[in-house]
Amino acid sequence: MRIAGLAQLEDVLSQPSEADVAAMAALDGDLLILGVAGKMGPSLARRARRAADAAGKPKRITGVSRFSSPETRQFLEECGIETIAADMADPDSLARLPEADNVIFMAGRKFGSTGAEHLTWGMNVFLPGLVASRYRRSRIVAFSSGNVYPLMPLERGGATEATPPDPVGEYAQSALGRERMFEYFSSLHGTPAAILRLNYAIDLRYGVLLDVGLKVFERRPVNLEMGHANAIWQGDANSVCLRAFALCSSPPAVLNLTGPETISIRWLARRFGDRFGVDPVYEGTESSTALLNNASRCHRLFGYPSVTLEQMIEWVADWIGMGGTTLNKPTHFEARDGKF
């Protein structure tokens, strides 16, 4: 299958699996998605809507964001998602949001952190504390980041959930702070929660694969200093998110979320080079460590991703070749100093 345009991409990203339908059938109560207008939120909300409808389970699904893009809000409403425009960092605005038995927390700040660290800490630590207190009687699934782990030796196969956090840089430190806020309020109120340490989700408009593929296509050097990475199809990551409500507990369950491969960036560039008929240009040399996430527990619980690495490479290469639109948001996965 070739993904030929945005409408088809959105359809593929939001197509629920049988497991998603079963999860929504088993989930009692309404669903509230906080920070819905980011890269992953719209397709997650639509997947949840389609899964609930397929399950024959009436469910109110509401997405909250500032909605700086009116088009995103319109898209969600056309998909049957209720929307609320709100500044969640304002306690009064947060208090006016509807009650919900189930909450997905997706809000966060990464890029632009260097030089504006206070904004990152406000979004990644202060806001989660407000949300965890406000929705103390809900089940909460919160997205976090694999950046909370240290750089791992390649031979270790990536950090597991048992690896002690040791974040590099203020963004990663604030990501750990976000987790600690949910842990604190879960301990205080018994709130059942699950924390998903994700790296890196991709679709065709952003992600590590697009970053590398574009550089090869445009004959720009591919940096090898962070010589290995993980990736997972955004649809598969969102599927795990919907099914993770079954894991919610107090203290919060922690789950690594990514694909099964440790991807060599040099190998990945060569794969794109083969597709484009281009010899990749490299700069730097591979290190013996990388930011790697071992998601074997996730795969044991929820199965392997439905979209393989080779399929993702094929789709991304086709998208680049036909001049498909991008979000123009490089991941900066190459950064080893934690500065974003």
Is the per-residue pLDDT at 254 higher than 80?
yes
pLDDT (0 to 100) of residue 207: 96
pLDDT per residue over 261-307, tens digit each? 999 999 999 999 999 999 999 999 999 999 999 999 999 999 999 99
Give the per-residue pLDDT at 58: 87
* pLDDT (0 to 100) of residue 337: 87
State yes or no: pLDDT of 112 exceeds 80.
no
DSSP designation for 67: -
Q: pLDDT tens, 161-217?
A: 999 999 999 999 999 999 999 999 999 999 999 999 999 999 999 999 999 999 999
DSSP, residue by residue, 235-269 = HHHHHHHHHGGGG-BSSPEEEEES-S--EEHHHHH
In angstroms, how far apart are the furthest CA atoms of the chain?
Answer: 58
6 pLDDT exceeds 80? yes
Question: Are 206 and 326 a contacting pair, CB within 8 Å?
Answer: yes
Q: Which amino acid is at 289?
A: T
Helix (H) or strand (E) holding 13: helix 6-14
Q: For residue 266, give the amino acid letter.
A: R
**CA 132 – CA 129 distance, rounded (Å):** 5
User: For residues 293 and 147, what is the distance between their CA atoms, to the nearest angstrom?
Assistant: 9
Residue 113 banded pLDDT, cuts 50, 70, 90: low
**Chain segment 205-220, per-residue pLDDT in tens:** 999 999 999 999 999 9
- 37-59: average pLDDT: 96
When pLDDT is averaged across residues 38-43 and rounded to a whole number, the result is 96
Q: Give domain limits for the chain.
A: 6-202+233-260+292-302
pLDDT tens profile 120-170: 999 999 999 999 999 999 999 999 999 999 999 999 989 999 999 999 999
List of residues 6+ apart from 152 with CB closer than 8 A? 158, 159, 163, 289, 290, 291, 292
Q: What is the band of 35 on the pLDDT scale with cuts at 50, 70, 90? A: very high
Asked if residue 66 has pLDDT above 90, the reply is: yes
For the cut 90, the answer to whether the pLDDT of residue 1 exceeds it is no
Tell the residue number behind the tokens 């270790």, with chain if given: 156
Place domain 6-202+233-260+292-302 in its CATH homologous superfamily: NAD(P)-binding Rossmann-like Domain (3.40.50.720)
Tokens of 340: 């974003």
Q: How far apart are CA 314 and CA 318, in angstroms?
A: 6
Read off the pTM.
0.96
Collapse the DSSP code of 113 into the 3-class scheme (helix H, G, I; strand E, B; otherwise coil) and give the result: coil
